[in-house]
Amino acid sequence: MSRSELPVTRAHANGRSPTAALLVGLLITLATVVAYSWYISGQISGLRRLQTDLADRNRRDSLQLLRIQNDLNQLALAMRDMVDAAEPYPLIAWSTQFDRIRLDLDDALKREQEIAGARRPAEQSQYLAASVAQFWDAANRIFDLAGAGQEAEARAQIRLSLQARQAGISTAVARLLVQNNAAEEQTAQQVQDIHANVQRQVYRFLAATLTAIAATSLYLIRSNRRLFGQLAALSERRRELAQTLIATRESTLREISRELHDGFGQLLTAMGSMLGRAGRQAPEGSAMRGDLREIGEILQAALDNVRGLSQTLHPSILEELGLESTIKWYLSTVEKQLGIQVAYERSGPAVTVDATTGIQVYRVLQEAVRNVARHAGETHASVRLRCDATGLELEVQDRGRGLEPDSARHGLGLVAMRERAELLGGTIEFVTPHDGGTLVRLRVPIRLPATPS
């Protein structure tokens, strides 16, 4: 260990944990929050009681009073038409309308009484109920006179008694509406006072909270500087784990691909050969020969699917013909599999890369092309492969909707591409060109083969 490393190690060993000071600050902050919350809860509860017991109740009471007033207005209009000598209808014909209005009026009075409750003096409620009952008694007597053929006497009673009773009830209802409006204004003033008081307390609470936050933040800045080294070490371990997982995944996919191709694929091939021999032995034109031929076609489709799945898991062409041939083969299948057309450009000298580099570059290409199909909203893409003295560069570009904010940081597929690039000692970029879309650029350092002299 060098002399310059000793102070750092000693400071790290003797550093005190910030837990105790942070707990004290947390307790103070929590106590402030609890006290403030208790106060605000009391204020809000009082405000809720005001709004529920007074404002909302007054509003609903006023609605019922307006409903009562509307029924009374309908009765007034009906009585005006009843006393009109030019009206062709007999008075008894109005009884149906009176019954309908009476049902609605009684329901409105009942609801209004339930809402008003004990807030209203008993004298007012009794007066209103008695006035309505007297009105209906008088109306019943008038319709009895009309039913007995005494139309003139009934009209006279309407003018003398019934209209006056209706006017008295309307006046009482109007008086109740005025009282409700006054109560609503008083409630509104109380609500404003509570809001103003709560606002002042909020400002005080914010000031105290900001002070506590500032003190805690200064202490955290000092403490966090000590923790960054540990976080960097943990990040490096995470990166090593991710790269190990990627290598393990590729190894597993390679084994599964071989098993599908060599084991299950050969089994399907043998079964196809046996079906072919059985079909040739069956009589020409027989049903069995047709069934065997159909089974053979299904078997061939299954074999093609197995081979396609094997190539998808791990392309054997990568070991046989190299990276460039694998890229050409993959891009030839993209339109059928993903529904996008890809323009491919190749420049620079031909290079030979090892299997590890080849599979990682191939996986980056796969993920980038799939992202175009899934997220870009575009059916065309460009793939460019360049090789020079510095290494290999792969670009995948589209003219779609582009990257969303923070997608390059948090997307699992993009994170995997970053890890693969780091595994090869290269770099990867996610760029939004000036003309829109997305450009994925992978650079991998490789050693070019020596040119023979």
CATH number (domain holding residue 391): 3.30.565.10
326 and 436 within one domain: yes
215 and 79 within one domain: yes
1 — pLDDT class (breaks 50, 70, 90):
very low
Mean pLDDT of 381-387: 90
Does 226 map to a domain?
no
Q: Let me know: does 384 contact 392? Beta carbons within 8 Å.
A: no
Does 196 map to a domain?
yes
Give the C-alpha separation, 399 to 438, whole Å: 7
DSSP state of 87: -
3-class DSSP assignment, residue 443: strand
Does 237 map to a domain?
no
Number of domains in the chain: 2
Highest mean pLDDT among 26-35, 39-48, 152-161, 294-303: 152-161
262 — pLDDT class (breaks 50, 70, 90):
low
* Residue 440: strand pairing partners: 396, 430
361 and 213 within one domain: no
Position 67 pLDDT exceeds 60: yes
In whole numbers, what is the pLDDT of the chain averaged over residues? 78
The whole-number pLDDT of residue 325 equals 85
Helix (H) or strand (E) holding 24: helix 19-49
The whole-number pLDDT of residue 70 equals 92
12 — pLDDT class (breaks 50, 70, 90):
very low
Does 4 map to a domain?
no
38 and 186 within one domain: yes
213 — pLDDT class (breaks 50, 70, 90):
confident
Q: Let me know: does 53 contact 190? Beta carbons within 8 Å.
A: no
Mean pLDDT of 153-179: 87
100 — pLDDT class (breaks 50, 70, 90):
very high
Give the C-alpha separation, 351 to 324, whole Å: 9
The whole-number pLDDT of residue 10 equals 38
Does 170 map to a domain?
yes
Does 409 map to a domain?
yes
Position 326 pLDDT exceeds 70: yes
Position 393 pLDDT exceeds 80: yes
Domain finish residue from 190, 219, 248:
219
64 and 196 within one domain: yes
The whole-number pLDDT of residue 357 equals 85
Helix (H) or strand (E) holding 393: strand 391-398
Does 246 map to a domain?
no
Q: Let me know: does 108 contact 68? Beta carbons within 8 Å.
A: yes
Mean pLDDT of 48-58: 69
Does 57 map to a domain?
yes
The whole-number pLDDT of residue 404 equals 63
Alpha-carbon distance values, 194 to 63, 260, 285 (Å): 26, 75, 97
Position 5 pLDDT exceeds 60: no
Domain finish residue from 219, 249, 267:
219
Place of tokens 């109380």: 190
Domain that residue 46 falls in: 19-219
